[in-house]
Structure 1
Amino acid sequence: MMRDWGHAAALAVRFLTRLPVPGEDPARFGQDIGRALPLFPWVGALVGALAAVPLLLGAMLWPLPVAVLLALALEARLTGALHEDAVADLCDALGGGRSLEDRLRILKDSRVGSYGVLGLGLAVALRASGLMASGEAWRAAAILVVAGGFGRLLMLATMVAVPTVPNRTSLAAGVAPRAGWGGLLLAMLLFLPLLALGAWISAWGMLVAFGLGAGFLLWFRGLLLRLLGGSTGDTLGFAAYAGMLIATLALAARL
């Protein structure tokens, strides 16, 4: 049983990051992915913790803004810019697509247009500004960890709340249906230590983050069903980045 959870944890890390985790076995994917999904928030926290290292070290040599940008650069490298790419793609699809077919076609297009550039630029700038607004390196580092977990929790909630686009073959279409309410509940229980860390940073901020996250999920579900007919891999990646942004701004706010 413990070995099965070990395989699931390794799969969760491989799925969300570029970290070289050994022991990949494609034959076990269908068996392990259900267990791996509730572990996604902790993988996000791991990425945040690794990104916090250059932030803390950089803050010893440079002002906090420089250290924050170093941290976000490493974070993007660790994940292969997985969520940033999703933000750009979804902004392009929803901004430039006039019909359902247009939007789905743009989502599959690897090129980035003006909506994608602007959307991603603003998202990264807002997140960086929130970390800088925290005022202290240790606080920004802790926010990176909590926000990393919160973003992947919101991604998992999106998997549960929004059905995938019908008749669309993708990795997300094969993974998202495995995310049931039981898995989401387990993920929320596993998130409790990160919740405690967030409450230590700012209890009101953590409460605001969950309120905004719930509101975002309701709005995002309606938007995706209306404009895309469901969720795709890019919409899930967008939800993860939105969650990181929401938690960052909420925890950095002067509440």
Structure 2
Amino acid sequence: MDVLRRELTLFFIAMGFFTRIPMPVWVKVDADNLNKASRYFGLIGILVGAMSALVYKLSLHVLPTSISIILAMIVGVVVTGAFHEDGLVDTADGFGGGWGVADKLKIMKDSCIGTYGAVTLLLSMILKYMLLLELALYDPEFVIVALILGHCLSRVLAASIIYTDTYVSEGEGSKSKPLAQNQTANELIILLVTAVLALWLSGLGSAILIAASLFLLRWILVTLFRRQIGGYTGDTLGAAQQVSELVFYMLLLGSLA
């Protein structure tokens, strides 16, 4: 029972960290538990993706596919509180508008949205909508698989960066949530097992190619983050999630074509 309670605690911490769903009152959050909770970030992705997919599925009975996709996207944003989108915006503003590392970090912790962030967010949302719509042209039901896998794998990719890279503090005044800053091999293994099982259960024939492509994307993102600010922040992890979700949809669409 102690083991089960501990794992449930870690799951609920991950849920509270990545979504607006409230944690049970008995869950105690501390730095150590937050680091360990990163093992369940992929599972939380499945939860968010399943909620989006459910709304999409129900909407299909009374609404056009295009509107159902928009509603599914809205659910994802509402459930997470636009947590990852905010990271994408801040990263785009910081990397696009800052000159040195300190300048980039200063911009990233600013709550105001800049031109780079606004354009990046707009284009990413349009691209996500169009990719899901194109997937629906093959089979409206296929969007359900795409949403669940996309939310899961993108969070696994982003969370795995914590294991290999250095956390860069944004300094005082940062608006970021508390962040998992360290991972053990146990957390990484559970993350990867979640991703492998999700791909295997999906029955996708292109699963190995998709996994290899996402691994390459991870290397590209990590290299970019290191060159820009010397490591990762909560914002860059959010950006990694958003970018990898989009790339996953592209890979899925490409495999069908």
TM-score, length-normalised on structure 2? Answer: 0.90
Percent identity for Structure 1 against Structure 2 = 26
The CA distance in 1 between the partners of 2:46 and 2:81, in whole Å, is: 16
The CA distance in 2 between the partners of 1:63 and 1:8, in whole Å, is: 39
Instruction: Write the deviation string for residues 138-189 of structure 1: whole angstroms up to 9, x where unpaired.
Output: 2101110111110110011111222111684676785222x23331112111
Partner of 2:250: 249
Which shifted more, 104-113 or 235-244? 235-244
The CA distance in 1 between the partners of 2:127 and 2:104, in whole Å, is: 26
Contact 1:65 1:132 in 2 (8 A): yes
Find the partner of 1:17 among 16, 19, 42.
19
Q: How does 1:28-107 map to 2 (within 5 A)?
A: 28-107=29-108
Contact 2:179 2:234 in 1 (8 A): no
Partner of 1:223: 224
**Deviation at 1:244?**
1.5
Question: Which is richer in helix?
Answer: 1
Q: Which runs of 5+ in 1 are unaligned?
A: none
1:196 and 2:197 are equivalent in the alignment: no
Q: How does 1:150-169 map to 2 (within 5 A)?
A: 150-165=153-168, 168=171
**Deviation at 1:251?**
1.7
Kindly report structure 1 stretches of 4+ aligned residues shifted beyond 2 Å: 23-26, 28-35, 166-174, 190-193, 206-209, 252-255
Change (3 A) 1:234 1:156: same
Change (3 A) 1:167 1:86: closer
Instruction: Write the deviation string for residues 208-228 of structure 1: whole angstroms up to 9, x where unpaired.
Output: 332222122212222111111
1:211 and 2:216 are equivalent in the alignment: no
Partner of 1:137: 140
Change (3 A) 1:173 1:12: closer
> Root-mean-square deviation (CA), in Å?
2.0
2:19 aligned partner, one-letter code: T
1:49 aligned partner, one-letter code: A
The CA distance in 2 between the partners of 1:71 and 1:50, in whole Å, is: 8
SS of aligned partner of 1:56: helix
Partner of 1:126: 127
1:175 and 2:177 are equivalent in the alignment: no
**Deviation at 1:49?**
0.3
2:158 aligned partner, one-letter code: M
Instruction: Write the deviation string for residues 23-57 of structure 1: whole angstroms up to 9, x where unpaired.
Output: 2544x423422431111101011000001122112
SS of aligned partner of 2:16: helix
Partner of 1:113: 114
TM-score, length-normalised on structure 1? Answer: 0.90
Partner of 1:185: 189
Contact 1:4 1:32 in 2 (8 A): no
| Matched pairs, number | 250
